[in-house]
């Protein structure tokens, strides 16, 4: 328990958040496939939910990395966004978000978009606040933590270069 805020800061695992949507015509571009900005907005929302469930705080998006749109998503498809905290620092979390699309009639499902969101926990004053430690136990969790660490280092180097410029 934090002495200053009374929040529970005990180490914990992260659970995936699954957000399900359907793609309507207004979500698409002029090719009839999902507009990337809409897919991104849904992934960002799911990343917020994962960050909030893990930390119990409000959070803002500080950076997004390696967003890849690999499969066009037709209107009428069902999409599941699976978001999970894979790395946690003192106040920031890296959330992996994967967007799967599914044909509602055949059930065929595939990964269409994936990316990483750095979410920073903030208090009522908008300033970063401490979050719990992430428990990492399995090989898969360790591999994902390593990806998160790589992203964190790259973001830190980018900020240093920007501050020196």
Ligand X SMILES: CC(C)(COP(=O)(O)OP(=O)(O)OC[C@H]1O[C@@H](n2cnc3c(N)ncnc32)[C@H](O)[C@@H]1OP(=O)(O)O)[C@@H](O)C(=O)NCCC(=O)NCCS
Nearer to ligand X, 102 or 144 (CB): 144
Question: At closest approach, how far in Å is the CB of 43 from ligand X?
Answer: 13
* Phi, psi angles (nearest 5°) of residue 117: -120, 125
| Cα 86 from Cα 80, distance rounded (Å) | 18
Among residues 22, 41, 60, 143, the one that binds ligand X under rule CB under 6 A: 60
How many residues are listed for the chain in this entry?
Answer: 165
Kindly state the smallest distance separating residue 146's Cβ from ligand X, in Å: 16
**Cα separation values, 19 from 37, 64, 79, 163, Å:** 17, 19, 8, 37
| CB-facing half-sphere around the CA of 146: CA atoms within 13 A | 6
Candidates 18-26, 50-58, 73-81, 116-124; binding stretch for ligand X (CB under 6 A): 116-124
52 binds ligand X (CB under 6 A): no
- Which of 33, 55, 91, 113 binds ligand X (CB under 6 A)? It is 91
Chain-centroid distance of CA 91 in Å reads 15
- Calpha distance 119→99 (Å, rounded): 18
Site string for ligand X, 120-149 (x = CB under 6 A): x-x-----x---------------------
By the criterion CB under 6 A, which residues form the site for ligand X?
Answer: 60-63, 89-92, 118, 120, 122, 128, 155, 159
């Amino acid at each position: 328990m934090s002495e200053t805020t009374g929040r529970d800061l005990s180490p914990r695992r992260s659970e995936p958040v699954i957000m399900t949507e359907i793609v309507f015509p207004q979500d698409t571009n002029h090719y009839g496939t999902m507009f990337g900005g809409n897919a991104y907005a849904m992934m960002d929302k799911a990343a917020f939910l994962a960050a909030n469930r893990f930390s119990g705080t409000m959070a803002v998006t500080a950076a997004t990395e390696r967003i890849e749109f690999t499969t066009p998503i037709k209107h009428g498809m069902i999409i599941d966004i699976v978001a999970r905290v894979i790395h946690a620092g003192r106040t920031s979390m890296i959330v992996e978000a994967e967007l799967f699309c599914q044909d509602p009639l055949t059930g065929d499902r595939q990964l269409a978009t994936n990316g990483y969101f750095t979410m920073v926990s903030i208090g009522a004053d908008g300033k970063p606040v401490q979050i719990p430690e992430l428990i990492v136990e399995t090989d898969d969790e360790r591999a994902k933590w390593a990806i998160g660490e790589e992203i964190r280092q790259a973001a830190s180097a980018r900020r240093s270069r920007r501050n020196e410029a």
